[in-house]
Amino acid sequence: MEHRPRLNPSEYGLVRGTGRRMLVIPDLHAPFIRKMYFEFVCHIADKYNTNDVMFLGDLLDNHFSSYHEADPDGHSAGAELDKAMTDIARWYNQFPEARVCIGNHDSIPQRKMMTAGLSAKWLKPISEVLDVPNWEFAEEWVVDGVKYCHGTTRKARNRAKDDLMSVVEAHYHSESYIDHFVGENYKIFALQLGCGIDRTAYSMAYGRNFKKMHINVGVVLEDGTLPIIEYMDL
């Protein structure tokens, strides 16, 4: 996909003022990323001239190491991680500074260590494993009054209502939406994003009869007040 030149936001009415323009990238599940998804996200980053980046978690799939049965014809744990690291390096080179929400698949190694009764002190930080020293990792982030998280336990709509604040999350690959909630003295939104996963990958065999995945990316403009979903052409 050919990249567009970076736009002057004021010329196109995309941004009022000089505030934060957040690019929000949902589940990647490396190394099982959909073909051309990286190019699509770069195109959207250029389109909106984004100046901040948030990954919503599940950078990794960790299929072989999961609690479910692994495909015997798939990659070994080491080979899968090596391929995932190669994929993530491409994203890191393009977006060298970013925040990352830790997803349930990202935390599988830590959960496995707890199952085995091993101290977390034996586990290297995920930023060190993936060699992404400038990416910051946390369970959730609050930026410009908006909560960003992976979304394991609740969808964005319910979390926004429960927390009474704007929420952006992913995790549910086959659902995406933007909802607004307006009260007497406040206005908040719920932004639910899909993913960037290759649904034909063997790691996704469990979901082949589910609803089709929403392949998209999010943007939050005007300092946390304007959510947008951009869908990839399939």
Three-state SS letters, the chain: CCCCCCCCHHHHCCCCCCCCCEEEECECCECCECCCHHHHHHHHHHHHCCCEEEECCCCECCCCCCCCCCCCCCCCHHHHHHHHHHHHHHHHHHCCCEEEECCCCCCHHHHHHHHHCCCHHHCCCHHHHCCCCCEEEECEEEECCEEEECCCCCCHHHHHHHHCCEEEECCCCCCCEEEEEECCCCEEEEEECCECECCCCHHHHHHCCCCCCCEEEEEEECCCCEEEEEECCC
Cα separation of 18 and 9, whole Å? Answer: 9
Question: Which pLDDT score is estimated for 119?
Answer: 87
* CATH value at residue 49: 3.60.21.10
The answer to the question of residue 47 being in a domain is: yes
Indicate if the pLDDT at residue 14 is higher than 50: no
Grade residue 109 by pLDDT with cuts at 50, 70 and 90: confident
The answer to the question of residue 199 being in a domain is: yes
The answer to the question of residue 203 being in a domain is: yes
pLDDT tens by residue, 183-213: 988 899 999 999 999 999 988 887 777 789 9
Indicate if the pLDDT at residue 47 is higher than 70: yes
Mean pLDDT of the chain: 90
Indicate if the pLDDT at residue 16 is higher than 80: no
The answer to the question of residue 129 being in a domain is: yes
The answer to the question of residue 81 being in a domain is: yes
Calculate what percentage of the chain has a pLDDT beyond 70: 92
pLDDT, greater one: 164 or 204: 164
Q: Which two tokens stand for residue 151?
A: 């979304």
Range of the domain at 135: 19-231
Indicate the number of domains in the chain: 1
Across 165-173, average pLDDT: 97
The answer to the question of residue 11 being in a domain is: no
Q: How many CA atoms lie within 13 A of 47 on its CB side?
A: 16
Q: Which two tokens stand for residue 11?
A: 């010329």
Instruction: For residue 122, count other CB atoms closer than 10 A to its CB.
Output: 8
The answer to the question of residue 14 being in a domain is: no
Question: Which pLDDT score is estimated for 110?
Answer: 86
Indicate if the pLDDT at residue 92 is higher than 60: yes
The answer to the question of residue 7 being in a domain is: no
Indicate if the pLDDT at residue 72 is higher than 50: yes
